[in-house]
Amino acid sequence: MQGGVPFTPKSLARSERVYVAGHRGLVGSAIVRKLQAEGFEDVVGRTSAELDLKDRDATFAFFRAAKPKVVVLAAAKVGGILANSTFPVEFLSDNLRIQTNVMDAALEQGVERLLFLGSSCIYPKFAPQPIKEDTLLTGHLEETNDAYAIAKIAGILGVQSVRREYGLPWISAMPTNLYGPNDNFSPKGSHVLPALIRRYDEAKASGSTSVTNWGTGSPRREFLHVDDMADACLHLLEHYDGPAQVNVGTGSDVTIREIAETVAEVVGYTGDTEWDTTKPDGTPQKLLDVTKLADAGWTARIGLAEGLSSTVDWYRRHADALRG
């Protein structure tokens, strides 16, 4: 509802200005590519050097000048188990500030359509599998990324609060584990899949006879190519309206051991794989129930083997610039 008038999702005007917060990140860059491919003529973004979204005054000034009609909030401080465990203060504080500043500035400008992007880590550590949207806040979070998860839960509530108080049809989407071009391949800050790609590719290049991965390899994970995620985001903006967050995933998962074997095969690594069981596994399984998304008319298209092959190719083309 907006001003007491029911909102009906519809195709976005390709001439409207769309602001993608976090447009150079994994998700944001994929959304920009998708919007441009679909004919959107006025997609804007700002680098963190140009606009620090943690700076409230700067964020409000940007919105007053740019006056976007649609906002995709993909900006976030993100990282894997090591980064989340080491820097919980930054993961909580930075994300809360980014989300609050962008939403408040968008609200001041009366932005009708805002899509907030979270993470599947918002759900309880031992949520029934596959995870339905209504399991939110029904149990304890995974300890290794609870600060990040709390920030994202606050973002969902922010969207719901705007809907209740101001009637604006803002929505939230919670993607599963994402991978693809522009991912973070840093040894200290990456998620599991890009970390595995870099580890096995470097082992192949150096002639190493073994690779060591964290944990037991038994946890199960769901992986979605980021180009599929971007396609789902546009679909939701044009076809979904509701207060509940929408899970975005494939509906199937594999073990970390299986994904490691697949990555090794794709990069051509033939050495041994060892598992350091003194390191944490994280959540034992995290498979999203994507019924709500399917009911909205969208399903994933890019298979894991296809997506991994293209991602490895991208990584190798950009490996020199990604060292560090």
Query: What secondary structure, in 3-state letters, does 97-149 show?
Result: HHHHHHHHHHHHCCCCEEEEECCHHHCCCCCCCCECHHHCCCCCCCHHHHHHH
Structure tokens at 200: 């096995």
Annotated binding residues for substrate, written as ranges, equal 199, 214, 221, 281
Please give the angle made by the CA atoms of 108, 110 and 114, to the nearest 5 degrees.
105
Which one is catalytic: 19, 123, 148, 269? 148
Are the C-beta atoms of 227 and 180 separated by less than 8 Å?
Answer: yes
Residue numbers in the known binding site for NADP(+) are 22-28, 117-120, 152, 175-178, 191
Are 215 and 255 in contact, with CB atoms under 8 Å apart?
no
Q: Which residues are annotated as a binding site?
A: 22-28, 117-120, 152, 175-178, 191, 199, 214, 221, 281
Q: Measured between alpha carbons, how far is 249 from 252 in angstroms, rounded to an integer? A: 8
User: Considering only CA atoms, which of 237, 217, 240, 224 is closest in space to residue 299?
Assistant: 224
Q: Active site includes 148?
A: yes
Torsion-angle region of 160 (φ positive above 0: left; ψ -120 to 50: alpha; else: beta): alpha
**DSSP per residue, 168-225:** ---EEEEE-EEESTT----TTT--HHHHHHHHHHHHHHHT-SEEEEES-S--EE-EEE
Residues with a known catalytic role: 148
